[in-house]
Amino acid sequence: MADHASPSQELDALIVGAGFAGMYQLLCLRDRLGLRVKTLEAGSGVGGTWYWNRYPGARCDTESHAYWYTFDPSLMRDWEWTERYPGQPEIMRYLNFVADRFDLKRDIQFDTRVTAAHYDEAANRWHVTTEHGETYTVKYLITAVGCLSTANVPNIPGLDGFKGDWYHTGQWPHGGVDFTGKRVGMIGTGSTGIQAAPVIAETAEHLTVFQRTANYSVPARNKPLTPEFKQYVKDNAEEIRQATHETLNGHQFKIDTKLATETSPEERRKIYEAAWERGGLQFRAVFQDMMASVEANSTAAEFIKGKIREIVKDPKTAAILSDIDHPYAAKRPPIDSDYFETFNRDNVTLVDVKAAPIQEITPTGIRTAEGSYDLDIIVFATGFDAMTGPMLRMDIRGRDDVALKDVWEGGPLNYLGLQVAGFPNLFTITGPGSPSVLCNMPVAIEQHAEWIADAIAHMRANGLERIEAKPEAMEKWVAEVNAVAGKTLLPMAKHSWYLGANIPGKPQVFMPYAGGMVRYREICEDVKARGYEGFVLA
């Protein structure tokens, strides 16, 4: 047990993290339930993932009119997005606008990283410790720590001796990085690398992209929003909100009922061409069977590979970029602004580090099995210890001092993604076992924050002190999470962070719930209607 030295604050609830999730949870618990509640946030401002991910080109992949809070109609009327996909600075302005409007910052303590949370059974309280040694004693603990907030810097020999500068995209310097006149190496071609490369290439003397696994990408077709569209959003905010509650992934677009396998090649081509021109994540929504049938998926995959070969002029580079080993969208599908076009620039080189792996970082650059590359700056667009990482970097201990890291040794176990047996009154927002990263995040976040607030309200109304997932409910739920993933093509991407496969030694388990947001919401509502079935309330 940590030494819980005074001064210690006692509260009804403590929230960890002040991104989209932590901010809304604070509002729910403080303003609707009247709890004594505080949020602790490691960053110096609100924003969570968006606070840290300010790399060049950082932009949301969800269209702006579906990427916001929808709990208050007047909030939707009073905010106006400027682009089809909001950039990181605009999202930060939005989140600060919300925080100020609801006066949230007075109950958020910034620059405060939570290091430990230990449950005291006799008192039925959580003792929470911060890196500065402050302690909090609280009845309810809610983690709103995000899914992609633990940066993964791969353990490549030699990094310590690198004479240039290096950065991880998820811990980007707030003052920005000047690439002018610099030879830049970027490792990683996930959504982040695909967004960053075109922007870095604009100012760097030279950009070398180190690609291990080739990736699909579809044009975002980002653009400023017209006054007419902005008015449309204002006039139809409630309908748009409703649509995001009725679609599988919480987006505003529906998945078409047509089957790729029952559509002629000519018709399919036309549909894919139109989707390519429209741009965005809805490319994957043009056929119902795209994520369920290898045959259907391969029609989309081949179309995109063909586009890559059309766009990229150098045939060798095009071949490396289009040599993709997994079904389309089995990994989180990126969307881009001129990613493949970037490889036609004279100052951009692609290096295939699957064929010739990176061997070491030298004082002057990167050495692969085939050659050395002199660099002034290395950018790690190498992703995150996703979903479980943000939880496990805190020392969380439940009943009998059992550590969460031990319970999750073989992969995350929980019930509905909301609670772990043995960890009473601890709730997790959009962690593993919930749709989270497979859904438009604000939609998943609002559902979780409201469900948690309802559960706490129910307990207060009924004089209950403790809510805890039953072990058997947890086991059943984990089996369900695995079963629904198994009905999709998602587990076929073997290097995916959805599976934890990007972190050496991490158990490989499909972590998010792939049954869709609509189904998940129904299950959670049903559980609530049955008096919180699967939970022990005491």
Footprint of ligand N01 on this chain (CB under 6 A)? 59-61, 148, 154, 187-193, 195, 210, 212-213, 332, 353, 358, 381-384, 437, 495, 497, 502
The SS3 of residue 47 is coil
Q: How far is the CB of 67 from ligand N01 (least distance, A)?
A: 9
- Judged by beta carbon, residue 309 or residue 495, the one nearer ligand N01 is 495
- Judged by beta carbon, residue 135 or residue 382, the one nearer ligand N01 is 382
Q: How far is the CB of 105 from ligand N01 (least distance, A)?
A: 24
Q: How far is the CB of 510 from ligand N01 (least distance, A)?
A: 14
Q: Residue 102 burial (CB < 10 Å; 0-12/13-18/19+)?
A: middle
Asked if the peptide bond before residue 7 counts as cis, ω within 30 degrees of 0, the response is yes
- Judged by beta carbon, residue 14 or residue 60, the one nearer ligand N01 is 60
Q: What is the token pair recorded at 104?
A: 């949230």
The alpha carbons of the chain give a radius of gyration, in whole angstroms, of 23
- Judged by beta carbon, residue 321 or residue 453, the one nearer ligand N01 is 321
* Rounded Cα gap, residues 208 and 347, in angstroms: 8
- Judged by beta carbon, residue 333 or residue 422, the one nearer ligand N01 is 333
3-state secondary structure 318-347: HHHHCCCCCCCCCCCCCEECCHHHHCCCCC
Long-range contacts formed by 122-129: CB under 8 A, 24+ apart:
124/424, 124/425, 124/465, 124/466, 126/14, 126/425, 126/426, 127/1, 127/2, 127/4, 127/8, 128/14, 128/16, 128/40, 129/2, 129/4
Q: What is the token pair recorded at 46?
A: 């609100």
Q: How far is the CB of 199 from ligand N01 (least distance, A)?
A: 13
- Judged by beta carbon, residue 50 or residue 79, the one nearer ligand N01 is 50
Q: How far is the CB of 256 from ligand N01 (least distance, A)?
A: 23
- Judged by beta carbon, residue 156 or residue 473, the one nearer ligand N01 is 156
Q: How far is the CB of 49 from ligand N01 (least distance, A)?
A: 8
Between the two ends of the chain, the Cα-to-Cα distance in Å is: 25
- Judged by beta carbon, residue 182 or residue 332, the one nearer ligand N01 is 332
Q: How far is the CB of 193 from ligand N01 (least distance, A)?
A: 6
* Rounded Cα gap, residues 82 and 227, in angstroms: 9
- Judged by beta carbon, residue 457 or residue 492, the one nearer ligand N01 is 492
The answer to whether 424 and 119 have CB atoms below 8 angstroms apart is yes
The answer to whether 433 and 412 have CB atoms below 8 angstroms apart is yes
Q: What is the token pair recorded at 227?
A: 């006054």
Q: How far is the CB of 437 from ligand N01 (least distance, A)?
A: 6
Q: How far is the CB of 427 from ligand N01 (least distance, A)?
A: 23
Q: What is the token pair recorded at 17?
A: 């993290």
* Rounded Cα gap, residues 337 and 328, in angstroms: 18
Q: What is the token pair recorded at 25?
A: 């949870």
The SS3 of residue 218 is strand
- Judged by beta carbon, residue 127 or residue 251, the one nearer ligand N01 is 251
370-393: burial string, b at 16+ Cβ within 10 Å, e else = eeebebbbbbbbbbbbbbbbbbbb
Q: How far is the CB of 154 from ligand N01 (least distance, A)?
A: 3
